[in-house]
A and B are shown apart, each in its own frame.
Chain A
Amino acid sequence: MDDLDRELGPHGPVEDYNDFSDDNVSKGGTNLKRPNVNPAMCKETPRETGFHRSTRICLEQIREAVLHHKWQEAAEYMACYPQLLEDTCLPPAQQNKELLWRISTNILHHHPNSTMEDYNNIYERMKHSGVRHHLMICLEHSFHLLLHGQNEDAKWQLSSAESWRHGKESAAQHQRAELISAYRSLLDYVIWCDKRFSNSDNYFDSDNQGMHDHFRQASLNLKEILKKPGVWDPFILSYVDMLELYDDHEEALKVLNDYAYNNNFPPNPNAHVYLYQYLKRHDASEKNLMRVLKILHVLVPSHELMLDYSTLLLNSENKTDIQKALGIILDMLDFTCWRTNMDVWKCLKTVIQRLEIQEDWENVVCEKMALREDWWPALHFTSFHASKDLEENPELWKVKASLAKVLCPKQALKYTADRVTNGKRT
């Protein structure tokens, strides 16, 4: 882009007459090449022009001001900084633009007097200052508009960004373009949502044509996007939400199944969660639900849905299912986040009770606890836990105490009601 220098020749401005370090006294005058510019932030080079020195020191001052949260001062220096864009030296142009973009927006975020207009101004300018950052700036701009509730504007920004083309740059930024396209659809969804809630009575009125248009635009695009491997959580949810309203269950299921089971996609526990939730909403059979949760259990044993899973397993009459339920609950309790959760412990108690009906239940328990007997007592059944549980949740203590013996029969656990003594009697 900066062909100016190419036209002027390999020599930059004639004036190389800086006072380099005095160590270069004799060498100073002979080198008439273009000054070795390296504005790799705040690093002084020996052959800096006065202009580069000014911009470098300006950047240092801005950085100081920003780090110390002196926003007025930062804004003052920022007013002096844009001359950097007019620099005619070839290499650093893109870096300058990015610097300017990011620092300006940062200052605007914090300065008390910044207005939406300022933001729009800066974003528009920086967008058109170069090609490499154009798409990212568009995206950031639309996010900003979204955060300020200007959904329509945000969508418009993304739509215009979608149709941006710039030779080989657009090929290099292919991924970003896809991202923009996806977000544009998401914004369509957001607007659709707004419209839906504002006209909550009759969705299929002809007045809601705009809403349907948004749906159409969004769904067309999302369908394409969701075929590509990636993590598309919010997009999936919005798509499914829209499809549900229009009763396109087939499509919704297809999309969700694809998302969860397609091996090309990165493993994503959320996919299974979404599928489960959808099936649950639509009264799927327990077998189907369990099938989904089984995979989730493998991926995330500590997931809260494991509780649901155990409950489902308990509902079945199958012996092995009960045993499986035991395994699942124990897996959950391996994680400290469930340590004081009443529901989980209650569920465990239920499982044990159901299990006790079976013969040979002790072996089953033993088997499941075999891996754990070394560290479970320390995790759940110390005297410290006892005192804490008694204090905070006596119910929990009761349940745990009853289970302690069952789970760890061979060990002498200290999970009792005796007060812990710290050397002084309380």
Chain B
Amino acid sequence: MDDEYTAGYREPCSECSAVDWGITDECHFYCRSCHNVIERTRDVEDTGFVQNGSSKISSIRKGSKKKPERGHIWMVCEGFQFILRNQANALLRLGVSPQFKDDVLCPLWRLFLQKSRLAYTSNPVKSSRFKVQDSDSDSAAESSNMSASATDGESNPPSAADSTAEDASDWSGSTDVSSYLSTRLKRKRSPLSMMKTLALIHLALVWSREALTLSDLLRLVNEGHVPYVNAYEQLPEEMKVIGKDALLFRVESIPSHRIVHKEAQALVLFLELPAFPPITCETLLHPELLSLRYLTDTNLPDELHLWVCRLMEQAGMADQTLHTFDPHSCPVLPRYDIQTAALIIVTMKFLFGLDDHTEWKLSNEVGNQSDSGDMFNLRRWYKLMQDVLMRAQQKRRQDIARKQWKAKKPIFPKNIGLKRTMMKKKRIAEQVQLCFEKLSSRPAGVQEVSPSSFRFCWGDEDGSDGPSLHHMKLDGVVTLKHNLLTPSNSTYWHPGLKKCDRRQCPSSHYSDMEPTLPRSFVWLLQLFSFLLDVKPPYLYEEVLKVERHVIGTETHCDVSSRKKKTRTRAKTKSSPRTLDRTLKTGGESGKTASKSS
């Protein structure tokens, strides 16, 4: 079986001079006669093998003096492996347990490579792609192909797919980046990309049940604590990243929550993973515990947590099966952070109404009482939070403006002229930057902040964002009824909750609905969207989902015309009876149908 890989290698063994090679488990060559293991590995041999199956490698190579310039021959997946490792190490430094890397991420990575036939497989994906071709016609075809693609925007599979590994590597540092790109040009995503590393890490984190949510991960990436932008700079010196490698390794955006989650979802299905370790109420990712964190971060009283848990219970959302990925019972990877935020928002809606009237009325009542010092006043909280939020949003905007994206060691193209142009531009940019840094006495870029799970800091110390309201009581908004704590507010509004047909309404209706929604609600959405760094429509959809769990999906939205995609909000008010039933302890679990008036 090994012969097909060793057939190309005809060097006699240094120990016994026999030519009888096999492959070890670690993919090294060994002499079958004397079991002498040599340095040559199967990966390298693959390149030689697939070129033309013969042993005439040296005649195709342009001479060994090329090698030291180019550094080692390396494959794209090796590069990504390094990057993934660096990212994992960064997370370990931040406090994630080592099992995450050793016991979860590594096997996951290997599984991924195997399933996508990039490595650890007897049938590597690129072996069918290479044929020997004349290098002149190759480059001519390639350049004409590119110009054709440039004009008509259509991507034909270029003759890059037909070039030898040798010629392909003339355009890049790695040997096989063209095969990744040719796959991509066939309208499928490249099997490996920087974004996939994030998706893999997220999966591994969820599997290890670490308290880092996806929005936390993306925030760490954005702040630079986890390498992502220009991560290729940390690759070893010998692995030269040039030319076409840029297309895979250079990133100019940090992907959004939605996109990475989508990718992670696709990965989970692609890898055919079994059921994840269960996310129980004791796990930090479970909404019950995660909501504590968000409540603390947004300076809401701790008592609110009780109500969040009650809501989850009544809606049947506390069950661990809902929060753990399972290919049969829960094939959708949960979005823990978004869901928890949505839960908090719905809880607040129940308690405070958030219809631009009730909450302020309740605030007024609290304010009018004489001993209101200890009672949570929404108005006071809002004023505090609005101030802090605006400052934080401004600071974020400033950080976005100041962020430096370009690498110290850019990926240069192979073409000398282009390389020089690029270097010149870089020099000029650096000089201008230096000039203004000196003038303003402030270095470019964003000041490094120490990583934290929390965005805001509440308390009386210096540097805090404001006084802490965590200890406040909710006495103003809840009353004792029949010896049970119930919210004083007895109405609840919601838009039509029937799920739209994804084909006819592919996007969120938030932009249409937003002008009709109460401002308090919209503001609260914006607050949590800022906290998680997502867009409000995204969070809004999750709020609707939670409401569907809690109330049911029988209320129709008044769709005047599907084609125009307009939607008016049916301001349905659930009857007080169902509401009471929903929020009291005990009583039925599962969904409660609303009797809309």
A50 at the interface (CB under 8 A from B): yes
Known A79-B433, A85-B425, A104-B436: A22·B401 in contact at CB below 8 Å: no
Specify which chain B residues have a CB less than 8 angstroms from the CB of A118 in the assembled complex: 435, 438-439
Specify which chain A residues have a CB less than 8 angstroms from the CB of B415 in the assembled complex: 3, 7
Specify which chain B residues have a CB less than 8 angstroms from the CB of A83 in the assembled complex: 404-406, 429, 433
Q: Give the most central of A15, A88, A104: most B CB within 10 Å.
A: A15
Specify which chain A residues have a CB less than 8 angstroms from the CB of B569 in the assembled complex: none
B380 at the interface (CB under 8 A from A): no
The bracket for how many chain B residues form the interface is 35 or more
Cross-chain contact A125 with B410 (CB below 8 angstroms)? no
Cross-chain contact A54 with B507 (CB below 8 angstroms)? no
Known A78-B436, A82-B433: A61·B421 in contact at CB below 8 Å: no
B247 at the interface (CB under 8 A from A): yes
A13 at the interface (CB under 8 A from B): yes
B184 at the interface (CB under 8 A from A): yes
Docked complex Cα distance between A54 and B397 (Å): 9
B194 at the interface (CB under 8 A from A): yes
For B251-267 the 0/1 string (1 means CB < 8 A from A) is: 11111111110100000
Cross-chain contact B194 with A15 (CB below 8 angstroms)? yes
Cross-chain contact B401 with A58 (CB below 8 angstroms)? yes
Chain A's nearest CB lies how many Å from the CB of B232? Answer: 12
Docked complex Cα distance between A114 and B194 (Å): 42
Known A13-B252, A58-B401, A86-B429: A8·B435 in contact at CB below 8 Å: no
Residue in A17, A113, A114 whose beta carbon sits within 8 Å of that of B253 in the complex:
A17
Docked complex Cα distance between A126 and B413 (Å): 24
Nearest chain A residue, comparing its CB with the CB of B263: A17
Specify which chain A residues have a CB less than 8 angstroms from the CB of B189 in the assembled complex: 29
Cross-chain contact B435 with A122 (CB below 8 angstroms)? yes
For A23-42 the 0/1 string (1 means CB < 8 A from B) is: 11111111011000000000
Chain A's nearest CB lies how many Å from the CB of B185? Answer: 7
Specify which chain B residues have a CB less than 8 angstroms from the CB of A372 in the assembled complex: none
Known A82-B433, A85-B429: A6·B444 in contact at CB below 8 Å: no
Docked complex Cα distance between A76 and B413 (Å): 32
Docked complex Cα distance between A13 and B410 (Å): 13
Cross-chain contact A4 with B421 (CB below 8 angstroms)? yes
Q: Give the most central of B243, B253, B426, B537: most A CB within 10 Å.
A: B253
B193 at the interface (CB under 8 A from A): yes
A52 at the interface (CB under 8 A from B): yes
Cross-chain contact B246 with A13 (CB below 8 angstroms)? yes
Cross-chain contact A18 with B253 (CB below 8 angstroms)? yes
For B432-468 the 0/1 string (1 means CB < 8 A from A) is: 1101111110111100000000000000000000000
Cross-chain contact B259 with A17 (CB below 8 angstroms)? yes
For B180-211 the 0/1 string (1 means CB < 8 A from A) is: 01001101011001110000000000000000
Cross-chain contact B436 with A75 (CB below 8 angstroms)? yes
Nearest chain A residue, comparing its CB with the CB of B151: A10
Specify which chain B residues have a CB less than 8 angstroms from the CB of A15 in the assembled complex: 193-195, 250-253, 255
Known A9-B146, A22-B535, A86-B406: A122·B153 in contact at CB below 8 Å: no
Specify which chain B residues have a CB less than 8 angstroms from the CB of A58 in the assembled complex: 401-402
Residue in A10, A52, A72, A121 whose beta carbon sits within 8 Å of that of B435 in the complex:
A121
Chain B's nearest CB lies how many Å from the CB of A361? Answer: 74
Specify which chain A residues have a CB less than 8 angstroms from the CB of B150 in the assembled complex: 6, 10
Known A83-B405, A86-B406, A125-B431: A17·B256 in contact at CB below 8 Å: yes
Specify which chain B residues have a CB less than 8 angstroms from the CB of A18 in the assembled complex: 253, 255-256, 259
Chain B's nearest CB lies how many Å from the CB of A80? Answer: 4
Cross-chain contact A4 with B146 (CB below 8 angstroms)? no
Cross-chain contact A10 with B155 (CB below 8 angstroms)? yes
Residue in A1, A28, A80, A84 whose beta carbon sits within 8 Å of that of B421 in the complex:
A1
Cross-chain contact B259 with A114 (CB below 8 angstroms)? no
Contacts of A112-128 to chain B: CB distance below 8 A: 113-114, 118, 121-122, 125-126, 128
Specify which chain B residues have a CB less than 8 angstroms from the CB of A49 in the assembled complex: 252-253
Known A17-B195, A19-B258: A125·B247 in contact at CB below 8 Å: no
Cross-chain contact A4 with B418 (CB below 8 angstroms)? yes
Docked complex Cα distance between A17 and B259 (Å): 7
Chain B's nearest CB lies how many Å from the CB of A137? Answer: 12
Cross-chain contact B253 with A51 (CB below 8 angstroms)? yes
B14 at the interface (CB under 8 A from A): no
Cross-chain contact B194 with A129 (CB below 8 angstroms)? no
A11 at the interface (CB under 8 A from B): yes
Residue in B158, B256, B414, B444 whose beta carbon sits within 8 Å of that of A79 in the complex:
B444
Cross-chain contact B246 with A8 (CB below 8 angstroms)? yes
Known A17-B259, A61-B401: A22·B248 in contact at CB below 8 Å: no
Q: Give the most central of B256, B413, B429: most A CB within 10 Å.
A: B429
Specify which chain A residues have a CB less than 8 angstroms from the CB of B437 in the assembled complex: 79
Chain A's nearest CB lies how many Å from the CB of B469? Answer: 32
Nearest chain A residue, comparing its CB with the CB of B537: A22
For the residues of A in contact with B, the DSSP-based class is helix
Cross-chain contact B190 with A10 (CB below 8 angstroms)? no
A368 at the interface (CB under 8 A from B): no
Cross-chain contact B255 with A113 (CB below 8 angstroms)? no
Nearest chain B residue, comparing its CB with the CB of A19: B256
Docked complex Cα distance between A204 and B591 (Å): 108
A321 at the interface (CB under 8 A from B): no
Docked complex Cα distance between A72 and B439 (Å): 8
Cross-chain contact B252 with A14 (CB below 8 angstroms)? no
A162 at the interface (CB under 8 A from B): no
Specify which chain A residues have a CB less than 8 angstroms from the CB of B401 in the assembled complex: 54, 57-58, 60-61, 77, 80
B566 at the interface (CB under 8 A from A): no
Nearest chain B residue, comparing its CB with the CB of A114: B439
Residue in B431, B443, B445 whose beta carbon sits within 8 Å of that of A121 in the complex:
B431
Specify which chain B residues have a CB less than 8 angstroms from the CB of A88 in the assembled complex: 422
Nearest chain A residue, comparing its CB with the CB of B506: A26
Q: Give the most central of B413, B422, B435: most A CB within 10 Å.
A: B435
Chain A's nearest CB lies how many Å from the CB of B553? Answer: 21
B38 at the interface (CB under 8 A from A): no
B568 at the interface (CB under 8 A from A): no
Chain B's nearest CB lies how many Å from the CB of A29? Answer: 8
Docked complex Cα distance between A240 and B432 (Å): 43
Specify which chain A residues have a CB less than 8 angstroms from the CB of B257 in the assembled complex: 19
Chain B's nearest CB lies how many Å from the CB of A128? Answer: 7
Chain A's nearest CB lies how many Å from the CB of B245? Answer: 10
Specify which chain B residues have a CB less than 8 angstroms from the CB of A108 in the assembled complex: 439
Residue in B405, B428, B443 whose beta carbon sits within 8 Å of that of A85 in the complex:
B428
Residue in A26, A32, A80 whose beta carbon sits within 8 Å of that of B402 in the complex:
A80
Chain B's nearest CB lies how many Å from the CB of A161? Answer: 18
Docked complex Cα distance between A335 and B149 (Å): 68
Docked complex Cα distance between A121 and B405 (Å): 24
B510 at the interface (CB under 8 A from A): yes
Specify which chain B residues have a CB less than 8 angstroms from the CB of A17 in the assembled complex: 195, 253, 255-256, 259-260
Specify which chain A residues have a CB less than 8 angstroms from the CB of B256 in the assembled complex: 17-19
Known A7-B413, A22-B507: A50·B422 in contact at CB below 8 Å: no
Cross-chain contact B405 with A79 (CB below 8 angstroms)? no
Cross-chain contact A80 with B155 (CB below 8 angstroms)? no
Nearest chain B residue, comparing its CB with the CB of A27: B506
B381 at the interface (CB under 8 A from A): no
Nearest chain A residue, comparing its CB with the CB of B538: A22
Docked complex Cα distance between A53 and B222 (Å): 14
B400 at the interface (CB under 8 A from A): yes
Docked complex Cα distance between A76 and B158 (Å): 46
18 A-B pairs whose Cβ atoms sit less than 8 Å apart in the complex: A3-B415, A7-B243, A14-B184, A22-B510, A22-B538, A29-B262, A54-B401, A54-B403, A72-B440, A80-B404, A82-B432, A83-B406, A86-B425, A88-B422, A107-B436, A118-B439, A125-B428, A125-B431
Q: Please provide the 8 A-B residue pairs with the shortest distance between their CB atoms, ordered closest to farther.
A: A19-B256, A50-B253, A75-B440, A79-B436, A51-B252, A17-B255, A23-B507, A58-B401
Q: What 19 additional pairs, Cβ within 8 angstroms, besides A19-B256, A79-B436, A86-B422? A: A4-B413, A7-B415, A9-B244, A10-B155, A11-B181, A13-B246, A15-B251, A17-B195, A18-B255, A25-B508, A29-B262, A32-B184, A32-B187, A57-B397, A72-B440, A80-B402, A85-B426, A85-B432, A122-B432
